[in-house]
Amino acid sequence: MPRVCKVCDHPCLEEIDMLLVRGDSIAEIARKYAISDDSLRRHQENHLPATMVPSASAVEVTRADKLLSQVDVYKNEINELKDLAIENGDINLALKAIDRALRCIELQSKVAGIITERPVINIIQSPQWVALRTKILYVLDDHPAAKTALMAALDGA
């Protein structure tokens, strides 16, 4: 039975998501809401972008819109902070602001579907498929017509 996400089940889920979107420290969020750092990271990686993608549910759409607008607000604030840091010659702060801005852009790209984290699998090159195909063709050695038809079908796929 799959594990239930402790963050998704948390009564303060919306607040936690907002803090994650804003880029607050995972350690601080974990302390504040008594959740492990690992649970927060898993939630951020696996559930946060998914909840931000608009769906058929009006509640989810509203939630996604809120989170996206919050990302925009934080991105603007981060850019202002970056500009101020550059003006004051604080390179470390400017670099941190740039890093946060890039995280906002990455999150927006995930939500928009520009970046996907789903692996691309080429089944034709998988060792399991090659082994299965070899076994099937070996079994069909006694049935040349079926083997020829199968080869033609596989080559056309």
Quick: pLDDT tens for 13-39.
888 888 887 778 889 999 999 999 998
- 27, 64: one domain: yes
- 142, 78: one domain: no
- 134, 93: one domain: no
Residue 56 has pLDDT above 50, yes or no: no
- 106, 139: one domain: no
Domain count for the chain: 2
* Tokens standing for residue 118: 């789903």
Task: Specify the pLDDT at position 59.
Answer: 53
Residue 96 has pLDDT above 50, yes or no: yes
Q: How far apart (Å, rounded) are the C-alpha atoms in residues 8 and 66?
A: 17
- Which one has a higher pLDDT value, 36 or 3? 36
- 99, 148: one domain: no
Q: Please report, as a single letter, which amino acid is at residue 31.
A: R
Residue pair 60/54 in contact by the 8 Å Cβ criterion: yes
**63-93 pLDDT, tens per residue?**
666 777 777 777 788 888 888 888 888 888 8
Residue 2 has pLDDT above 70, yes or no: no
Domain that holds residue 128: 123-156
- 43, 76: one domain: yes
- 78, 42: one domain: yes
